[in-house]
Structure 1
Amino acid sequence: MILEITRDLVKELSKIEIPKDIKKAVFLQVENLKLSAEIGKKKLKFSEEKAEKLGIKPPLLQIALNSSASMMYDWDDYLFAGHTGHSAVFTALALGEEFKIPEGKIMRAIFIGNEIGGRFGILTLIGPLNGQMMTHIHGIISATITEYLIGKIDNIPKRICSYISNPHFIHFEGFMGGETKVFTASFPIVQGVISSLFDVRENQYSEEGFMRIFSWNDFSEDTIKTIFSPDFFLTRTLMIKKYPGCAYVLPQIECALKIKRKIEENFERFDIDCIKEIEVEYSIIPALLDVISSRYLDFSSHIPAQFSTYGAVALALCDKNFTPETYEKVRSHKNSILKIISKIKTKHNTKYTRKILEKVSDSFPFLYGEKPPSVKNILKAISHSHIKISHLLKEGVFIIPALITNRIKTERKIKDDFEFIFPAKVKIQYKDLLLEEEAISHSAPAISEDAEKNIQEKREIVIEKA
């Protein structure tokens, strides 16, 4: 059923007049991801000679290379729900160039990829994979875009079925533990494109198996139809990051940088030995990310620091700004980073968590499901993340009332003016001076002027390092 309504949605999206703000968002998304790939390629080692010997050539070559490189520093964009750009942008651009497809259709393909990927992201948001770890949405996006651009829309259910019968599933160790994270999107994308080569009958059980593994929600058929309605555009929720790193740690980075600048204004220089204490307040999401990423923060790679408030704040205080080069100081500044980390204390601010839940449920009221998650799925979540039950009980008990309150508000319509927030507060005791900064989010809606500023600053970094 889901695959058929996906096809129907693509048909609708292929005919509508795309609103101006959506066109602008897609244009900026393309610019942003191109820069991400260019920056990532400077770090990513790749053998063109071996690719040639194996016969891997455009468009698959560009898709694999660009979608891997763009993930290197986590300097991408995201929408509700998923980091769809890696697959939507690079699949559409590569196929468009290879098959001389008009620019307007390429941009529409990216828009369609965002909308389809975001909706599958919503279906599986409460599940074993979340955020940038949603490997499976990329194969679905690339299979959809391939049929839209060089195949037949009517074949989309078959192609998605082929992919989700054998989808990708990345584990925390592969994602947060090191540079293998860069394949989170590229491997699924290639498989999704390749699915268009084979004309096999649909497997009526694939959809059921896919949902059983990736979704811990129990959506009704009517709710699924609502999610796949053409009445709202998830591309409108697209956010452009100011700094490289997981969106959940960007406010902490911004706060740390602002405080450091204030210290430099009050003293001759910034000396980490003069830091007495650092306190960070944040929501439950980065709190849980810290629990998970701490297992891999061994300074062998910059990747774990992208998800760790401890690592990110320490790195921010070790540099003048926060760029991809900052992450490269993980090894060379190890002693300084460890010294700063030893002074950091974190605290779950339940008000921040409630704000996030209320904001999400206001735009997407069905998200928490039409009935509470089963004990089996709760145990699955705990087992998958390796988070201690005691930690969940300590932090989670405060958000249960908010979940219950938001669950009963399911009659409202979906609103696509949603804007992500990840509130955080950082306090630093430096000598006898106590400084404090608070931030709500440090990504900008793609339809805003701030998004253009973020991309321009990113472009300047690329030009400077060229």
Structure 2
Amino acid sequence: MTVCEEMGAWAAGLRLGDVPERVRERARLQVASILAAGSAGQAAARPFARVAPDGPVGEVYAGAAASMAHDWDDYLYMGHTGHSAVWAARAFAGEDGERAAVAQIAGDEVGGRLGAALLLGPHNGQFWSSIHCAAGAVAAGVALGLDGPRLAHALAIALYQPPYGLWPGFMGPDSKLLTAAEPAGAGARAALLAADGVRGALDVVEDPRGLLAQLSFAPRPALLGALGQVWLTDTLAFKPHPGCAYLQAAVEAALTAGAAADEVEAVDVEAGWLTVEMERLGLRGGWTPVGVGFSVARSVAVALVAGRLTHAELDPDWLRAHRSEVEALAARVSVRHDWELTLRTVRGAADAGASLRDVPLRAWPRVARRARESGMAPGGLDLRSLARRPG
């Protein structure tokens, strides 16, 4: 069987009773999280709602744009699948709550696996837009009651033309809201097409010229398996504040410090490499909702000035009105790399069972070369400081 056939057969046969209760609870929390994010982002996403088509596909499109607006979303291993899985399941299942739950979980499981398989590639994290094609197709297809073969074709149709987002459109402007909206809508349409008998290329994922070959530097097909055995929905995490996951701890620390903004002389943030790299990449975002949401310095400054960090403080009018004050404070926030925190991240991932052992050694030079060619060369890590660490 092809990947699409295996995933389609599994999703079509999934029943709520097959899902452990702890996974169902995470899924219920995901619904609450995405609906809250969609409500918070409704005003920012109003232009996208106006051009959304009528019917369930438009529901998915408008909902995904709204929940993406402030990065106040959930995420699992590996991907921000709620933008597609939740909206597609709700749009197509109608009043059938049990079917909506199964559809959502199936979308999460397929979307997360696709993100893991594409980890070593030109996109990452919330920028994995192609996973929403898959999650949207599966969630909509299960909600529609498609059988395994038709679900397989829904996936194949959805992944035939995967999106390839470009960094300038993601980091800063309003176009970022399309990151999940367009592919989630395409996935939902693919399910409708499959329901009407349209067929896709069932080997579109693993073909030598297929999805894995084109959207990854080192394909990881092994990450697409274990459906029904490993529940990625069980790894769902939720953010207390809008913005990237990598800035949450710093914002929380600033808010619990008990200091007023005018009392702060300087803020020193020691962070792991992922946070430091986010800060570097987020510079181009400027004083926009996206630019704040991908910057520890800007988010900490906004939180200290406002005494909180919510979608209200990411409103462009609020940012304009408080620009001089928050900009001056952000300039006094320094973000420095701490090797111990980076190594704790690596150890934590390893302890949880994450590994890159499936990537052969001969593939790593190609991964490095293609990353450089794609402009993804990471910021410098001081390996000498690692060598000087005690122990």
Q: Do Structure 1 and Structure 2 share a fold, with TM-score over 0.5?
A: yes
Given that residues 282 and 347 in structure 1 are in contact (C-alpha distance below 8 angstroms), is that contact kept between their aligned partners in structure 2?
A: yes
Deviations 1:9-30 (A, max 9, x none): 3245337532222222111211
1:249 aligns with 2:247: yes
SS in 1 for 2:246: coil
Matching of residue 342 in structure 1 with residue 339 in structure 2 = no
- In the superposition, relative to structure 1, how do residues 309 and 369 fare at CA in structure 2: closer, same or farther (>3 Å)? farther
Aligned to 2:280: 291
Looking at structure 1, the residues matched to 131 and 348 of structure 2 have their Cα atoms a distance apart, in angstroms, of 24
| Alignment CA distance shift 1:74-1:215 (3 Å) | same
- CA distance in 2 between counterparts of 1:48 and 1:118 reads 26
Q: Quick check: 1:217–1:369 contact (8 Å CA) kept in 2? A: no
Structure 2 CA distance for partners of 1:213 and 1:392, relative to 1, 3 Å: farther
| 8 Å contact kept, 2:170–2:179 | yes
CA distance in 1, matches of 2:261, 2:51: 48
1:314 aligns with 2:301: yes
Letter in 2 for 1:309: V
1:232 to 230, 233, 236: 230
- Aligned partner of 2:180 in structure 1 is 185
Q: Indicate how the Cα distance of structure 1 residues 156 and 393 shifts in structure 2: closer, same or farther if over 3 A, else same.
A: same
Q: Cα distance 1:254–1:138, how it changes in 2: closer, same or farther (>3 A)?
A: same
Shift of 1:103: 1.3
**Is 1:33 aligned with 2:34?**
yes
1:390-401 equivalence runs, <5 A = 391-394=379-382, 398=386
Q: CA deviation at 1:126?
A: 2.3
Structure 1, gaps ≥5 residues long: 264-269, 400-466
Q: Distance in 1 between matches of 2:246 and 2:32?
A: 23
* SS state at 1:347 partner: strand
1:119 match = 113
The equivalent of 1:200 in structure 2 is 199
Amino acid across the alignment from 1:290: E
Per the alignment, residue 45 of structure 1 pairs with: 46
> Aligned match of 2:292 in 276, 282, 305?
305
Q: 1:166 to 1:202 in 2, by over 3 A?
A: same
* Cα distance, 1:19–1:71 mapped onto 2, change above 3 Å: same
Distance 2:180 2:13 in 1: 26
- The structure-2 alpha-carbon separation of the partners of 1:168 and 1:201, relative to structure 1 and needing over 3 Å to count, comes to closer
Deviations 1:221-274 (A, max 9, x none): 6x346x434212111111121111111111111111112x1x3xxxxxx353x5
Q: What's the offset of the Cα at 1:327?
A: 1.7
Aligned with 2:150 (options 144, 151, 155): 155
> In 2, are the aligned partners of 1:29 and 1:85 still within 8 Å (CA)?
yes
Q: Residue in 1 aligned with 2:217?
A: 216
Percent identical across equivalent pairs?
24
- Superposed CA offset, 1:62-112 (max 9, x none): 111111101111111111111111111100101112xx5x21111111111
2:206 alignment partner, SS class: helix
Instruction: Give the paired residue count.
Output: 376
TM-score normalized by the length of structure 2 = 0.88
* Counterpart amino acid of residue 350 in structure 2: S
Residues 341-360 of structure 1: matches in 2 within 5 Å?
341-360=330-349
**In the alignment, is the contact (CA less than 8 A) between 2:171 and 2:284 conserved in 1?**
no
Which residue identity is paired with 2:117? Answer: L
Stretch of structure 1 that moved more, 168-177 or 74-83: 168-177
Match of 1:327 in 2: 314
Find the aligned partners of 2:135 and 2:237 in 1 and give their Cα distance.
19
More divergent stretch after superposition (57-66 vs 155-164):
155-164
Larger Cα Rg: Structure 1 or Structure 2? 1
Contact 2:85 2:136 in 1 (8 A): yes
Taking the aligned partners of 2:143 and 2:265, their CA distance within structure 1 comes to 58
Change (3 A) 1:16 1:119: farther
Q: State the alpha-carbon separation in 2 of the partners of residues 145 and 246 from structure 1.
A: 25
- CA-atom RMSD in angstroms: 2.4
Paired with 1:363 and 1:110, the residues of 2 have a C-alpha distance of: 24
Shift of 1:50: 5.8
- Correspondence for 2:372: 382
Could you list the runs of 5+ residues in structure 2 that have no partner in the other structure? Answer: none
Partner residue of 1:72? 69
- Judged with a 3 Å threshold, the aligned counterparts in structure 2 of structure 1 residues 26 and 393 are, in CA distance, closer, same or farther, namely closer
Q: Which residue of 2 aligns with 1:170?
A: 165
Tell me which amino acid in the other structure corresponds to 1:128: P
Q: Offset of 1:205 from its aligned partner?
A: 5.3
